[in-house]
Amino acid sequence: MKTHVEFQSDAFPPYDHREDETNPGRYGRRLAEFLVRGLQAKGLEPL
């Protein structure tokens, strides 16, 4: 079972002011927000 996915996309650019809040060179907040909205639209709620 895969425990992670890896891809590149220009659809989820990093937030400019968040570099000091994340691991340098690692971005995912916009993707996470996109996934949360999509899951909520299907009736799922985040923990």
Mean per-residue pLDDT, 4-8: 83
Residue 39 confidence (pLDDT) above 80: yes
Question: How many angstroms separate the first and last alpha carbons of the chain?
Answer: 22
To the nearest whole number, what is the mean pLDDT of the chain? 83
pLDDT number for residue 19: 61
pLDDT number for residue 27: 78
The reported pTM is: 0.66
| Residue found by looking up tokens 């996915």 in the block | 5
20 — pLDDT class (breaks 50, 70, 90): low
Distance CA 10, CA 40 (A): 23
